[in-house]
Structure formats: C-alpha cells, structure tokens
Amino acid sequence: MLLLIEQILNGLQLGLLLFLLAAGLTLVFGIMDLVNLAHGSLYMIGAYFAATFAALTGSFVLAAILALGATLLVGMAVEVIAMRRLYGRDHLDHVLATFGLILFFNELVRLLWGPAGMNLPLPGWLNTSVQLLPGLQYPTYRIAIILVSLAVAVLLYVTVMRTRIGMLIRAGASNREMVSALGVNIKLLYTLVFGLGAALAGLAGLMQAPILTVQIGMGENILILAFVVIIIGGIGSIRGALIAAILIGLIDTIGRSYLPDLLRLVMSPRGASAIAPAVSSMLIYALMALVLIVRPQGLFPVSGK
C-alpha cells in the first residue's frame, strides 16, 4: 500500500514534468500551428545550462534561475532565426526542419560540452527525505518538483485566463487570423509564446537533471511522450495537457513498477523487466490511439479554428 502511494507520487511528479514540457508544445502547436520536434532539444539545453551554471556558481537555485533565462533567450533566438519562416507551411516541412534542428543541437552540445554528459548534484538541503506517512519516506526534491510544477501550472493558468496577454494567447489558439486582424503585433506574440514554451521545457529539463540524466539526446525520448500528451489532451489546451500528462505519468510509473511482477508470471525475470517499458509504452500509445479514434480533437479541445 505504501509502495503504491510512493508510486503514485512518482507518477504525479513525472506527469507534472511532462506537463511542463507539453504545455509549451501545445501552446506553440495550438497558436502557431507549428510542429516542433526540437522542443526536446530545449529541454536538453535547459539541463546542460543548469549543470554548467551550478558548477560555476555553486548554487543550485541560482543555476536554475540562470538556466531558465538562458533557455528563454535561446528559444526566442531560435524562433526569430528559424521558426518564423515555417509558419503556414505543411506540417511535413515543420517535421523535417525541426528534425534538422535536433541534429544541429545535439552536435552543438557535443561540441560545447563533450559527448560524456554531465551531472547536476543536489545541494544538501534538497537531498533529504521527508516522512509523509508512518513508514513512508519520500525524497524532498521530488516533493519540490511537484510543488514547483504545480505553482507553474497555477501561474500559467492565471496568466492565460486572467491577463491580457493570456487572452491574446487563448484567442490565437482558437482563431489565428482574427487576432492578427485585430492589429496585435503577432510577430512579437509568437516570439514570446515560443520563448515561454522554451523556458518551460528548460525548467522541466533542469528539474529532472539531478534525478535522471544530463546527456545528448535526452530530449528525444521524452518528446514523444509529450506529443502523446498533447494529442490526448487536445491541441492548444493547457488544461488538457495537465490532465493528460498526469494520467500518462501515472500509467507509465505504475505500469513500470507493477508490470514486471505481472509479466514474471509468464516470462523470465530478466525478460520481464526488459520488456516492461515496451508494454507500458504500448498502454500509453493504445490510449492515444483510442482517443484518436473516439475523440480525435482530444479530451479538452480548444473550440473554434
């Protein structure tokens, strides 16, 4: 039972990280109709920046803030230099062009930081655990991730729902032409939205860095999950991204921890733990396929367009 709660918390944490990644992706896809495969590269860059700044400054929090700012700038630069020219084109063009960007960023990171990957150690005060329930110790850092992500989610919600900029973003998601017809500086709006998405991706990257990894190509694996999230949640919908992300985070985590036991009933232990990720992914893709068949616009579609 305690193990289940721990797994649920882990799933929640993974889901929230996925949400940060998916939120940027869905905003960009919803508003600019841009399929950005290189979103995972921004996630990777955030992690690398954080690791570098942490080594330079010695402070985890400072490094995180600097990394966020740096990723935001990189995102905006990418938008101005490359993404701008892709708006309005076929999705295949987006896929090809952003695939090219993935190659570019992977090589650039390899050039600047070397092929070996990096470490982002946790500061002492975060590297502890907290007793949530009798018998259940849970790492403080993971709780911090959950709290920070929730805070960002709330902040995002407030911004999108209650501010003028947010209103423009929502309007842009459901009717692009109208917004530019209203005389809004679309170019600037797009750059900001893309930058925001990049910052969110970078935040996700740097937050998971101490737990998982900082290495080349780390973005690609999680990117696919992020796309599944936005397809299930509904393109352009932040609320949908949140719910779908948590759902997927839970399925993936609980699946990975309980499936091997289930599979061990029918196959060897080594085989069971090796194939568990496959089965767990299959569940997720099966869910995506189901959504695409039954409700192709996603669980929380943004109406209009």
Partner 1 sequence: MSARLTLRNAVVAGLLVFLVLLPVYVSHGGNPFLLTLFTRILILAVAATSLNLIMGYGGMVSFGHAVFIGAGGYAVGILAEEGVASGFVQWPVAVAVSALIALVIGALSLRTRGVYFIMITLGFAQVLYYVTVGLDRYGGDDGLTIYTRSEFFRALNLSNKTTFYYVCLALLFAVIALVWRLVNSRFGLVIRGSRSNDRRMQAIGFPTFRYRLVCFVIAGAICGLAGALLANHTEFVSPAMMHWTRSGDLIVMVVLGGLGSLFGPLIGAVTLLVFEESLPLLIKSLGTPIFGAGAARAAEYWQIVLGPLLLLIVLYARGGIDGLLKGGRRG
145 vs 284, beta carbon nearer partner 1: 284
Phi, psi of 88 (to 5 degrees): 85, -10
Burial of 115 per CB tally in 10 Å (0-12, 13-18, 19+): exposed
Contacts of 277 (CB under 8 A, 6+ apart): 256
Please provide the DSSP assignment of 277-294 as one string. HHHHHHHHHHHHHHHHHH
146 vs 216, beta carbon nearer partner 1: 216
**Min. distance of Cβ 6 from partner 1 in angstroms?**
24
102 vs 246, beta carbon nearer partner 1: 102
25 vs 168, beta carbon nearer partner 1: 25
- Rounded to an integer, what distance in angstroms lies between the CA atom of residue 150 and that of residue 143? 11
Q: What DSSP character marks residue 138? A: E
**Min. distance of Cβ 102 from partner 1 in angstroms?**
7
11 vs 40, beta carbon nearer partner 1: 40
**Min. distance of Cβ 292 from partner 1 in angstroms?**
6
203 vs 222, beta carbon nearer partner 1: 222
- Rounded to an integer, what distance in angstroms lies between the CA atom of residue 257 and that of residue 7? 8
Q: Considering only the C-alpha atoms of the chain, give the largest distance between any 2 of them, rounded to a whole number of Å.
A: 64
Q: What angle do CA 285, 291, 297 make, to 5 degrees?
A: 125
**Min. distance of Cβ 85 from partner 1 in angstroms?**
6
**Min. distance of Cβ 86 from partner 1 in angstroms?**
8
Q: What DSSP character marks residue 303? A: P
Which parts of this chain interact with partner 1 (CB under 8 A)? 35, 82, 85-86, 91-93, 95-97, 99-105, 107-108, 110-111, 220, 224, 227-228, 231, 268, 270-271, 274-278, 281-282, 284-285, 288-289, 292-293, 296
Which parts of 82-185 fold into alpha helices (H)?
Answer: 91-113, 140-162, 164-174, 176-181
**Min. distance of Cβ 215 from partner 1 in angstroms?**
15
